[in-house]
Chain A
Amino acid sequence: MSEKVLMKGNEAIAEAAILAGCRHYFGYPITPQTEVAAYMSKKMPKIGGTFLQAESEIAAINMVYGVASTGKRAMTSSSSPGISLKTEGISYLAGADLPALIVNVQRGGPGLGGIQPSQSDYFLATRGPGHGDFHVLVFAPSSVQEMADLTSKAFELAEKYRMPAMLLADGTMGQMMEPVVLPEPIEKVEEKPWAVTGTKGEREHNIINSLYLKPAELEQTNLDRFARYKIIEETECMWEEFMMEDAEVCVVSTGITARVSRNAIVEARKQGIKVGMIRPITLWPFPKKPLIEAADKVKSFIAVELNMGQMKEDIELAIRCKKPVALCSRVGGMIPSPDEVLEAIKKEV
């Protein structure tokens, strides 16, 4: 499977999930992620998998919880308002230490908002989407290729660390078409000693659970989980740097706005402006290291995003406010043009 195929971002997610051994998809219709479900509904019955259009987003995430309890790979996809509903289930997945993939193809909000692209679920995703003290792995693709690659990666790391993962794409990523080289299919999803599969009379019963009525026990589960999070923060950060060698201004952006920014940076360079970009690929764990290093070299940062400055706060935290961080953003489904980003860059020099 090394040849390129032309695919929509949402379809690339679905196909990559199947190649990653996911045979159980549960969803509820919502724009702009619809193609994921449509693709799954066509494909799953043909490969002995499950496509189930659930009665609600809440039911869908709990069906995922059921499959994840058996140690098999499961996923759901939705868009922003639907993710709000799923947060209960995501919290339970985290509390029971279950791996699963949740795809959020974001649209504008709050409330019903709109159906055009947005990155305004950044806080929701990175702060732990649901009640309690937890994180999910968050991946922010910036191309259809990454929609596929990060889907595989998300399943892999979710299982490795026994936690939910979220693919946090903006609506543009879901809807755009690009050539993509699909990942190799995985041979077999590993069996899990902790999974509920029936004791077969050979072992004590396994229990999937997030209830701990003794405070000391609950505290310990939180401490254990955060010890794992620390390892993840140290080892699993992903990011890409662009023209950062001699940069005096550092753009930080993800998804569609990273692509717009790239054009603006190329244009700025033509005009002699020393600007580069750090593009976080994992949003949790947030790639603090390259930002801290950049903070010693650049004069300022610009967060380019489709929200009112949510990632900007993470940048400021990462660099301990060593340098100013400007914001260049559009919201509500509007996307900044390369010229708007260029203007923002020029303000910093």
Chain B
Amino acid sequence: MSKVIFNEELCKGCGLCVNACPKQILALSKTRLNGKGHTPVEQIDPDKCIGCAFCAMMCPDCVITVIRE
């Protein structure tokens, strides 16, 4: 089981993590804005996460913490 935690208020919605994800399970929110007015990233299929941290490595804003169990 792996999971990612988003520090959502830091997210600027650049989408670099979305493209980096090999499992294609990240997307920018289509329904919400964060406090900065950006569309934050969300995990659309958490069960498929392999904890590779590619998303976190491409994130310019240290939004993502990755946990592997």
**Chains A, B in direct contact (C-beta < 8 Å):** no
Q: B interface vs A, CB < 8 Å?
A: none
